[in-house]
Structure 1
Amino acid sequence: MAWDLSVDLIKATVQLEQPVGDGSRTVGTGFLISDPTPGGKPRTILVTAAHVFEKMPAMSAKIGYRVQGKDGVWRFDPTTLKIRDGDHPLWVKHPTRDVAAMEVEAPPEFVKAAIPINYLAQDDTFNRYNLGPGDEMMALGFPRGLSANPAGFPILRAGRVASYPLAPATSFPTFLMDFSVFPGNSGGPVFMAEGARRRPGSNQTQEVQFVAGLLTQQVELSGERLEIGIVTHAKFIRETLALLDKLPGATVTQAKAGKTVKGDPPMPPATPAVAISATAMAASR
């Protein structure tokens, strides 16, 4: 496979967290997209579920960047991300869906790692590849604040599409995935990275690599988790990104490497959160 979306998305996915007064923290997942301005200026956008930011009351959060040393070893390097200016949110929210986006000034390694916007699924993507129930997709996130290792890389999960039909997104804005979802997963990318899928009506194979959407909810009924995730289509990520172009004088938020919250050392990424608010509960869509 010439290009591996799973590895690239792992590099582009970050933990978002905000300490809570009782010593616990609110945790969510976000990922970076490269989306130039209408004038062609490079721009790095952080995408997550809107409720992740909404459940963070303070003006700043931490974004879990990672740094690779000269010896090749990665280390967790969370930095401060301003998400509010007083009572004014610095992110834009989709008017009807649980999607948020904000422009960030990321370290050079993460600017390079940001996923090009053209890898977000379009309205016809599911039909073009003849995708449906039973097809496997993957998701990245930080369940209960856990990471894959002390360097802060996200945990990769896999599950099968559990609903039908999947398109059009205007009629079916979300779809179901059969896999366990935990607080901390919200906002993580859901994607397909298949190297040899048969073309519809042909014996030829093709690479199928695209971001299908982001995880926004888990299904819970009468207090019981059903181990089903709800994915919001990438169409609504695209629409949220378009809202950034309508802002008067786009403001870049500062999230530079090496600037952590004074007096609040970063909690090790492999430590489970005591309190979490990263996945909304829902009995239905």
Structure 2
Amino acid sequence: MDQKKENILNMGPIDHLVHCTTRIESTTKDGKGSCGTGFFMNFLEENGKSIPAIVSNKHVIKDALSGGFNLTLKGSDGKPLIGNHKKFTFNNFESLWIKHPSDKVDLAIFLLGPLLNEVKDSGAEIFFTPLSKAIIPENDVRESLSPMEDIIMIGYPSGIWDSLNNLPVIRRGVTATHPYINWNGKLEFLTDIASYPGSSGSPVLLANLNGFSDRNGNTFITGKRILLLGIHYAGAMHTAEGEIAIVTTPTSLMPIPITQIPNNIGVAINSNCLLEFEPIIKSLLPPTLNV
């Protein structure tokens, strides 16, 4: 086996998932700084080719005049060079994102191909773990899940990250509603997981690495499942008046007024909505680059 491939394979599933996100920073039109989460995703996967992109929420990059993210460099052994990363900053940041065509779906993507090619031309390479659409569960798989599944969310709550090593924070919880049933008729489900400003755009993953039980109580001791169930974008907040409101998770790095207190109920967009980007991406590619 090729040494580079062997070294990459020696990394465990969670080691790879830690490198599936990036911390998005931006400056808005009013001069305020904001922070959110993006994750890497491969689109149009076919014949060993794909189009890599960063996925996040529309509100994460809304009104962003400038913005960017840090990407970890890859070593000659194929592994990430932990602590060796580069910041990429762009003007007119919001305009560089492709927004989901539905006003009701808070998703946007940033195509990575040109940036990766530019870095490669300079003699370097970027290490990241793109999620595959193969881990977006088909409807029959999603329906077979239990209303309460163990999940993890990877991102940058309150902007917290390991700035030296360019690493995110992993949070753990459960689904609070069934990920197949549309919450209040929307392509969304609820999660019971702590989320704070900066969590917007985080992937919500079912990650069973040491066995799992299905909704009928059958236990699979050696089973393993990693599925992208959704994308976090909002949370339930208690207001000063005692009311509960669903609001998009703020991205501002400024202190949050005590008039809104998160109660750890998050709202995630059904990951199937990501597939609706594929025809848009394909329409933007020159015919010779269509995969």
**TM-score bracket relative to the smaller structure:** 0.7 to 0.9
Residues matched between the structures, number: 244
**Hey, what's the Cα distance between the residues in 2 that align with 1:199 and 1:2?**
29
**Hey, what's the Cα distance between the residues in 1 that align with 2:237 and 2:276?**
28
* 1:185-241 Cα deviation digits (max 9, x unpaired): 100111011021135665544211111111101211323322211111101122234
Partner in structure 2 of residue 197 of structure 1:
212
- Quick one: higher RCO (CA 8 Å, sep 6+), 1 or 2? 1
Question: If each structure's helix is expressed as a fraction of its own residues, which one has the higher value?
Answer: 2
Residue 8 of structure 1: how far off its partner (Å) = 1.9
- Which of 230, 244, 256 is matched with 1:213 structurally? 230
- Unaligned stretches of 5+ residues in structure 1: 253-285
Partner in structure 1 of residue 171 of structure 2:
157
Residue 168 of structure 1: how far off its partner (Å) = 4.2
- Unaligned stretches of 5+ residues in structure 2: 1-8, 240-259
Structure 1 counterpart of 2:99, one-letter code: V
- Alignment check: 8 A CA contact 2:25 2:34 kept: yes
- Which of 52, 68, 76 is matched with 1:44 structurally? 52
- Which of 109, 114, 117 is matched with 1:101 structurally? 109
**Hey, what's the Cα distance between the residues in 2 that align with 1:112 and 1:232?**
23
Structure 1 counterpart of 2:233, one-letter code: T
Residue 81 of structure 1: how far off its partner (Å) = 4.2
When residues 168 and 63 of structure 1 are mapped into structure 2, their CA distance, relative to the original with a 3 A threshold, is: same
Name the stretch that deviates more: 45-54 or 204-213: 204-213
Structure 2 counterpart of 1:10, one-letter code: V
Partner in structure 1 of residue 17 of structure 2:
9
Residue 92 of structure 1: how far off its partner (Å) = 2.7
Q: TM-score, normalised by structure 1?
A: 0.72
Counterparts of 1:165-244 in structure 2 under 5 Å?
165-169=178-182, 171-195=185-209, 196-199=211-214, 202-205=218-221, 206-222=223-239, 223-244=260-281
Structure 1 counterpart of 2:70, one-letter code: G
**Hey, what's the Cα distance between the residues in 2 that align with 1:89 and 1:114?**
19
* 1:227-258 Cα deviation digits (max 9, x unpaired): 211111101122234432234759x9xxxxxx
Residue 22 of structure 1: how far off its partner (Å) = 8.1
* 1:91 to 2:98 alignment: yes
- Which of 5, 29, 36 is matched with 2:37 structurally? 29
Structure 1 counterpart of 2:188, one-letter code: T
- Give SS of 2:143's match: helix
When residues 73 and 46 of structure 1 are mapped into structure 2, their CA distance, relative to the original with a 3 A threshold, is: closer
Residue 21 of structure 1: how far off its partner (Å) = 7.7
When residues 2 and 208 of structure 1 are mapped into structure 2, their CA distance, relative to the original with a 3 A threshold, is: farther
Structure 2 counterpart of 1:62, one-letter code: G
* 1:132 to 2:126 alignment: no
Q: TM-score, normalised by structure 2?
A: 0.71
When residues 200 and 186 of structure 1 are mapped into structure 2, their CA distance, relative to the original with a 3 A threshold, is: closer
Name the stretch that deviates more: 4-13 or 215-224: 4-13
**Hey, what's the Cα distance between the residues in 2 that align with 1:2 and 1:242?**
35
Residue 158 of structure 1: how far off its partner (Å) = 0.7
Percent of matched pairs sharing the same residue: 18
Partner in structure 2 of residue 74 of structure 1:
83
* 1:29-49 Cα deviation digits (max 9, x unpaired): 101112236787431111101
- Alignment check: 8 A CA contact 2:44 2:278 kept: no
* 1:125-164 Cα deviation digits (max 9, x unpaired): 3223x3213x22000111222103521211000112112x
When residues 121 and 6 of structure 1 are mapped into structure 2, their CA distance, relative to the original with a 3 A threshold, is: farther
Name the stretch that deviates more: 176-185 or 62-71: 62-71
**Hey, what's the Cα distance between the residues in 2 that align with 1:214 and 1:65?**
21
